Structure 1
């Protein structure tokens, strides 16, 4: 976990905010980020991530583990790796997550898409989910999100159903998939 009193906190803050900014400039949402798009400084966001690790938290009601996908870059000064994506796993479903969100949400930085990061992130998170004792996980995505659809299918997703739901003031067709972990 990134600590405010660590010597590299400022570098992490700059990298996280640059990651956030790239999504904002593209008009994309940062799925699976615990609402990073809402934070202009990372202190509150880190606090939410810490709080969400506990059961019955006031944010989502189920424990959540959030990961950053990092890449060390050649030619870049030693220090903080480049953030290529983020992914979170909700340790169980509640009625709201059964409708929209599922067990796992993720995003890949717009400039890093189509490089295989989403599949790798999801596969590693599925292994983590097995370690939590989950036998299967639900993922969902907007029916128009071909990148997410391909990723889910590559990782063993089995289509369950389409639903219509409201997301950010718009009606969307949401596709639900299950991935078996056994």
Structure 2
């Protein structure tokens, strides 16, 4: 089924339930990992994934088709995740950057984290970056999204995405060189 046909079915009451089940099947894993890379925690990622799909379901009728459907859903997932992280940082009286370091430090004991020491070091390097550079790097490196897709999701210029990725890569290389 084409994206256009799926959107049409999602926006028609009689097909919405079946089309939404298909949409969830198509995107749940990709969106889960997108959210998981942002929030680091499995339980939080699952909760935010559910919140994302609830918002998609409630708002699909107002989807304007000005971007790809998955870009729109990634934007919702990103916003849900960032709102969650901001609230969590405020609750814990931490800056966003300190919260990221705290979350990464908990990864080593997370039973759902199946990465090795190198991946843990990469996450630590990521936590040292400014928020936007973290987002761009995660979407490009872990999710293999194009610069254009990332620009759509984050609603920023493609050149800005490229610059953020470049700076993030250089800072990560420097961080890893220092720690090894």
> Scaled by the length of structure 2, what TM-score is found?
0.30
Higher strand share: 1
Instruction: From the CA coordinates, give the structure whose radius of gyration is larger.
Output: 2
More RCO (CA 8 Å, sep 6+)? 2
Higher helix share: 2
